[in-house]
Structures are given as structure tokens and as C-alpha cells.
């Protein structure tokens, strides 16, 4: 019965129906063209990964070398494996911290009763999102500076440290500095969609919980969190695919010789070999690997959500 209904629905999607929606179709054309022009047509450049590409020879004149560049990345180049580790580690830290802090911030902000205070806090929390990473890195360097940085001053005053330290020279701290920089910059912005999802929860549920004697924490745990659960899963699935997009600017700007082994990401590797050393084929191969891993992660996460009976992308 359901199969017949699906067939009937598909049969109704014809030229006549499209003409009825022609305004919407016409409005969508520029966006479809934009995606095709800047996201799909450039994929032709992937052929460089299988060539010993030289700009002067072009795609058709460059020598094909098959999987030689991929072999170099994974077998003959230990640096790339370390780069994958760094990118994955920072991506996972950013993913976990951004979700935890954004959801927690949205839950707390939703409990603020005074509208003026709530709007002020929202506005202040959104502002860092619009700052460039250059400015954010400058703020980080000032805050963590060994010479008068507020973090060093506080830790010394509390006798946690005997003297100021240079946080940017510790390999063990670099990933966490990057992670909390993302938290500070994006928590307010990421919380917007959770706050919007919270407004869709039926207020009667909160009133009934209050009658039963539930406190604020109980309402947050038993009503608010379950109410935004579908939103959390959808955003989690989308962001799992971006786990290898752990960043470029902050790692590039904050790196130094002492932490270089833990700061390099795939994007920095592509810049180093694809642009600085003009090995476009190797840079393209690294980019293809990154894209394929992202696609695989999205499918795996979507199938896991499907088996668990949760919201999924497709």
C-alpha cells in the first residue's frame, strides 16, 4: 500500500507541477549555479592527483603516474600520518567542546527570565563569531602572554605557578588552546539554533512539571534536552563530516618550532607542498583524502543514527 502511494506521489511530480512552482524554480537557479560553479566544476582538478602535474603542460600534457602520490602520502611519508593525527585530534576536541558548551550555554540562557539581560548576554556572546582568526590569535597571545598575560597573573597570584610560563611552548597544551579558542569564538553563535529549537517546546510541559514540583535542573534534564534531541543529532551528523576541517588560520598563526609536530594540519600540509613547493599533485591527493574521509564519516554516522532509531540526514 505504501509503495503505491509513493508511486502516485512521484507521478504527480511532472512538468505541469514544476510550472506551477516556476517562481521558486527560478529563484533557486542562481543558488544551484553557484554550487555547480564553485563546488562541483573545480572537482575536475582532482585529475592532478594522478599526474605529475606541471602548470605549463596542463591536464592533458602532464604525465600520469597513477597512485604514486597517494603511495608517497601513506607509505613513504611519515609526516603525513602525523598530520592526520593532529587534524583528527583537534577536530574531535573542537567537535566535543563546541557541542557541550553550545548546548549548555543555550540551556542556561533559556533560564534567564529578565529579557533585557538575556538579549545583552546573547549579543555579547555572538560578537566573537564575527572576529577574524587573526584578531582572535592576537587576543590569545595577550591573554596567555608570559609578560603580563592575565592567565599567568591569576595562576601566580593563586600560587598555582611559581613564575609565569609560555603556554605556546607546551605540546600537550596546544590542542586544548585551539579547542577553547573555538569555544570562545563560536559558542554564542552555535547556540542560536538550540535556542530556536527550545522555543518550539510546548510550554504546557514546563507548567505541568512545575505543578509536580520539578526544579529548573529537573526541567532542563527531562524536558528541554529531550525536546532538542532531534536538533542535536542532526547537527552532530553534519559536523562529524567536518571533523577533519579542524582549522588552518589559528594553527598556522600560533605555531612555532617547539610545537610544530602537533600543530600542522592537513590544510597546512596542502599549503606547504601544494603552493610553497609547487607540488600541486601531492596537495590535491591530500585534499582528496580529506574529502573522502569526510564522506565516509557522514555515512557511518548516519547509519549509526538509523540503527539507534535517532534523527538522520537521509
> Distance between CA atoms of 271 and 302, rounded to whole angstroms?
31
Q: What would the CATH number be for the domain defined by 68-130+166-307?
A: 1.10.3720.10
What is the C-alpha to C-alpha distance for residues 75 and 58, in angstroms, rounded to an integer? 27
CA distances to 2, 54, 61 from 57, in Å:
56, 5, 5
pLDDT at 6: 46
Strands 51-52 and 63-64: antiparallel
Are the beta carbons of 108 and 283 closer than 8 angstroms? no
Helices marked H in 127-246: 133-143, 150-157, 171-199, 203-211, 216-219, 225-227, 229-240
End-to-end CA distance of the chain: 22
Q: φ and ψ at 63, to 5 degrees?
A: -75, 130
Local mean pLDDT, 10-residue blocks, the chain (314 residues):
49 71 88 93 90 83 88 83 93 94 93 88 92 93 92 93 92 94 94 92 90 88 91 89 87 91 90 81 89 90 83 77
Q: Are the beta carbons of 168 and 144 closer than 8 angstroms?
A: yes
Q: Domain residue spans in the chain?
A: 13-66, 68-130+166-307
**Per residue in 57-70, pLDDT tens?**
887 788 888 899 89
Measured CA distances, 166 to 93, 141, 143, 173, 301 (Å): 22, 10, 11, 11, 39
Q: What does the pLDDT read at residue 1?
A: 46
Query: If phi over 0 gives left and psi between -120 and 50 gives alpha, with beta otherwise, what is residue 51?
Result: beta
Amino acid at each position: 500500500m505504501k509503495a503505491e502511494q509513493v508511486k502516485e506521489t512521484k507521478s504527480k511530480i511532472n512538468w505541469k507541477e514544476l510550472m506551477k512552482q516556476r517562481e521558486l524554480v527560478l529563484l533557486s537557479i542562481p543558488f544551484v549555479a553557484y554550487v555547480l560553479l564553485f563546488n562541483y566544476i573545480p572537482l575536475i582538478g582532482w585529475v592532478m592527483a594522478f599526474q605529475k602535474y606541471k602548470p605549463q603542460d596542463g591536464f592533458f600534457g602532464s604525465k600520469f603516474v597513477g597512485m604514486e602520490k597517494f603511495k608517497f602520502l601513506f607509505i613513504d611519508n611519515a609526516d603525513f600520518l602525523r598530520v592526520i593525527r593532529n587534524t583528527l585530534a583537534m577536530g574531535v576536541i573542537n567537535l566535543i567542546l563546541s557541542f557541550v558548551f553550545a548546548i549548555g550555554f543555550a540551556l542556561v540562557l533559556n533560564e534567564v527570565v529578565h529579557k533585557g539581560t538575556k538579549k545583552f548576554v546573547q549579543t555579547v556572546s555572538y560578537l566573537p563569531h564575527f572576529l577574524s582568526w587573526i584578531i582572535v590569535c592576537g587576543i590569545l597571545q595577550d591573554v596567555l602572554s608570559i609578560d603580563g598575560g592575565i592567565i599567568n597573573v591569576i595562576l601566580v597570584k593563586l600560587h598555582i605557578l611559581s613564575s609565569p610560563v609560555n603556554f605556546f611552548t607546551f605540546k600537550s597544551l596546544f590542542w586544548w588552546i585551539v579547542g577553547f579558542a573555538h569555544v570562545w569564538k563560536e559558542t554564542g553563535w552555535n547556540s542560536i539554533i538550540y535556542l530556536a529549537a527550545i522555543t518550539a517546546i510546548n510550554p504546557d510541559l514546563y507548567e505541568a512539571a512545575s505543578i509536580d514540583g520539578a526544579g529548573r535542573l529537573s526541567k532542563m534534564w527531562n524536558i528541554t534536552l529531550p525536546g532538542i534531541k532531534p536538533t542535536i543529532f542532526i547537527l552532530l551528523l553534519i559536523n562529524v563530516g567536518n571533523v577533519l576541517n579542524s582549522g588552518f588560520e589559528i594553527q598556522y598563526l600560533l605555531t612555532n618550532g617547539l610545537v610544530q609536530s602537533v600543530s600542522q594540519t592537513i590544510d597546512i600540509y596542502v599549503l606547504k607542498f601544494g603552493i610553497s613547493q609547487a607540488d600541486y599533485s601531492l596537495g590535491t591527493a591530500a585534499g582528496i583524502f580529506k574529502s573522502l574521509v569526510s564522506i565516509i564519516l557522514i555515512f557511518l554516522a548516519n547509519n549509526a543514527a538509523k540503527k539507534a532509531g535517532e534523527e538522520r540526514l537521509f
